[in-house]
Amino acid sequence: MSGTIETRLFINNEFVPARSGSTFALYNPATEDHVADVSQAEAADIEDAFIAATAAQKEWEGIPPMRKSPLYGKLAGLIMLHGDELARLEAISMGKPYSSFMFDKMACAGLFGHYASAAYHIQGQSSLNTPGMINMTIKQPYGVVAAIIPWNVSLIMFAMKVAPAIAAGNAIIVKTSEKAPLACLKLAALIKQAGFPPGLINIVSGYGNITGKVLAEHMKIRKIAFTGSVPTGKKIMQMAAASNLKNVTLELGGKSPAIIFADADLDMAAKATEFSIHQNSGQHCQANSRVFVEEGILDQYLEKVVAIMTSRKLGNPLEKDTWQGPQGDETQQKRVLSMIENGKTNGELVLGGKAADVGGKGYFVEPTIFKNVNEDAEIYREEIFGPVLLVNTFKTEEDVIRRANDTEYGLFASVYTRNFERAMRFAKLLESGAVGVNCSAPTQGLDMPVGGWKQSGVGREMHMYAVENFLETKTVYFKFDHSFDMH
């Protein structure tokens, strides 16, 4: 413990320090103050978690869903009840404003509620097409699975992985991000309070190349679900292949386009695209960082977006009226500022363009807009993960489709128009895991899949798509009539 903040590992429903005593320091990105020294899991701790999870999984698999469902409901209720404390922990570790955390709280609780009865939907198929036999498929859990999550929406990522994994009958070891370990450790206490059995859900903190690597290379863990950046996703896949060829799902970065036609509701388009790039300080994988507006409406669009962006309050995330907090940490701020410098030689600065001064402390960045950006520039091609909007113009449908799709990413793409046929053409032609017609990310239905095309990911999450990720399929051949002989 560090004061009233839990900083230890959560293994077998107990909080324990790392066996080696290893810790890492966490700093408040708004004030630069030291927040806590957090226990860092190494191989011996992961082994403890694996042993506990193995024992728990054997029992959990045999418990009927109707006895498990109430636990999910109880946890969802506890998350809602402890929302203020969870918000405070996110604010002091990665800088999320209290106001925007309320969405994370609802989504995290909602996801646990959503998966409460998911186990009943896990069903195989049967076939009578082989003479003399009834054949069937059955779905079974992997056993002990692992998840590695990022820091930008840690509680949502936690729920998106843990709830379907245990609904499928697995036990899980989750590694949180070194930038945001605290709220998930509070969640650990709530998991225990809700009555989930010891060892079912284990939560470890630590850096990726220390703690995460042990999970990705583990020889007995057969499934790993990862959310984070493209470079780390590639490393996870390499480690999974080089160890035991474990099954991998990857939810990675984005560079989402939003295309705005002159016939669109421009107020609505400006509002939605501004929110997409600005909320959570632009630290959102699906944020529409590349906007294309039809020639002729550029000035009108920019005027509207600038008015909204400059009306938002930037400041300490613990103050209830703060809309934009700092970037996640100093590294994130430096990366965003270096991208902005790249933008200054590859586009025209419209707004912002530097670190924001909030009492001389913290890792803040001014909301920034560039127009007429060189589409070969680094700022245009790489994910920024900051409040930086790039706005270019287009003349024809063919031209803008080609340019919107000219990226290695493919998470979310938007088109704003009142022309129904054009909207349908774009829904088909845009190369991404989701297309929003007259809406931008974040837009999500709990029963709709999430995932990326191209280098934005491998596999889909949410609803039963996620449960499927944590199941093996077995074919069972059942011979009942020996008069048919296949040999």
Q: Which residues bind ligand NAD (CB under 6 A)?
A: 148-152, 175, 177-178, 207-209, 212-213, 216, 227-229, 232, 235-236, 251-254, 285, 383, 385, 411, 450, 452, 457
**Strand order, beta sheet including 201-204:** 14-16, 9-11, 201-204, 171-175, 144-148, 223-227, 247-251, 457-458
Check: CB of residue 233 under 8 Å from CB of residue 250: yes
Q: How far is the CB of 438 from ligand NAD (least distance, A)?
A: 22
Nearer Cβ to ligand NAD, position 119 or 411?
411
Q: Which residues are catalytic?
A: 251
| CB closer to ligand NAD out of 68 and 335 | 335
Q: Least distance from C-beta 332 to ligand NAD, angstroms?
A: 7
DSSP three-state, residue 13: coil
Sheet holding 290-294, edge to edge: 348-351, 368-371, 388-394, 290-294, 257-260, 412-416, 434-437
Rounded CA-CA distance 280/64 in Å is: 40
Min dist CB 168 to ligand NAD, Å, is 19
In this chain, which residue has its C-beta nearest to ligand NAD? 208
**DSSP code, position 235:** H
Closest CB to ligand NAD among residues 294, 329: 329
* Nearest distance, CB of residue 184 and ligand NAD, angstroms: 11
Where are the extended beta strands (E) located within 71-230? Answer: 126-127, 133-141, 144-148, 171-175, 201-204, 223-227
Closest CB to ligand NAD among residues 204, 356:
204
Q: How far apart are CA 413 and CA 417, in angstroms?
A: 13
From edge to edge, which strands make up the β-sheet containing 471-479? 126-127, 133-141, 471-479
Return the number of the residue (212 or 353) whose C-beta is nearest ligand NAD: 212
Enter the tokens of residue 381: 């091609």
The two tokens of residue 437 are: 């017609």
Residues in CB range of 249: below 8 A, 6 or more apart: 224, 225, 226, 457, 458, 459, 461, 469
